[in-house]
Amino acid sequence: MSLRIILLGALLILSASCADKETAPSFDAKAAIDEIDLLRSQFEQAVASGDLAALGALVSPEAVIIQPGAADWKAMQQLAAGAPFPQQAEIKITPFETKIVNAEWAFERGSSVVTYVNPETGDEMMLRDSYLLVFRNDGQGWKVYREVASASAPPEGWPAREQQ
Rounded to whole angstroms, the Cα distance separating 89 from 85 reads: 6
Identify the pLDDT of residue 127: 97
pTM: 0.80
Architecture of the domain delimited by 27-162? Roll (3.10)
- DSSP reduced 3-state for 40: helix
- The domain segmentation of the chain, as residue ranges, is 27-162
Rounded to whole angstroms, the Cα distance separating 42 from 36 reads: 10
Please count the other Cβ atoms lying within 10 Å of the Cβ belonging to residue 88. Answer: 13
CA angle 34, 21, 145 (to 5 degrees): 40
Please count the other Cβ atoms lying within 10 Å of the Cβ belonging to residue 91. Answer: 20
Q: Express each pLDDT in 35-78 by its tens digit.
A: 999 999 999 999 999 999 999 999 999 999 999 999 999 999 99
Rounded to whole angstroms, the Cα distance separating 154 from 25 reads: 35
Confidence band (pLDDT; 50, 70, 90) for 108? very high
Q: Is the pLDDT of residue 96 over 50?
A: yes
- Which carries the bigger pLDDT value, residue 13 or residue 34? 34
For the chain, percent of residues with pLDDT exceeding 70: 82
**What DSSP state is assigned to residue 107?**
E
Confidence band (pLDDT; 50, 70, 90) for 109? very high
- Contact yes or no for 84/55 (Cβ under 8 A): yes
Q: For residue 81, which phi and psi values (nearest 5 degrees)? A: 50, 50
Q: Is the pLDDT of residue 149 over 80?
A: yes
Q: Express each pLDDT in 3-24 by its tens digit.
A: 455 433 444 454 554 444 444 4
Q: Is the pLDDT of residue 141 over 50?
A: yes
